[in-house]
Amino acid sequence: MAGFLSAARKWLDKAAQDLLLADRAMQSPRLPALACFHAQQAAEKALEGAVACTGVRTIPRVHSLLPLAGILEDRRQPLPFPPEQLASLDPYAVAARYPDEPEPSEQAAAQAIALAKEIYQWAQGLVG
């Protein structure tokens, strides 16, 4: 169990770094696409930490929150977030990488960061 918790905490440390970068991306000059990217990454890593906490040894390398949520459901750790809310972050995993993708609004970035922080806090409560 201690090994799983150690792995989970490492994922949460990475998630915290992405949250920090998401917040910094909304300072002057504001970079909402990068804020959204790091918000998605923070949420993904927080869920990967939660999955690790349940004893899963090999975390799937996906850039979608829904498969991770499915693993948690299967391990009897359902998330308090509806699937459509989780799915709202998924496009940001890729969109910031390409210049022809539309720039998200500052409001969308603020919402993405807020959701990522909620997911992180939930995962932190699970991991302890």
**Rounded-to-integer distance, Cα 43 and Cα 16, Å:** 9
What's the domain count of the chain? 1
- pLDDT for position 97: 86
Q: Please, what sign has the CA dihedral across residues 128, 77, 14, 8?
A: positive
Containing structural domain, residue 52? 2-127
- Range with lowest mean pLDDT among 33-37, 59-63, 121-125: 59-63
Average of per-residue pLDDT across 13-39: 96
pLDDT confidence tier of residue 9, bands split at 50, 70 and 90: very high
pLDDT at residue 29 above 60? Answer: yes
Tell me how far the alpha carbon of residue 118 is from its chain's centroid: 10
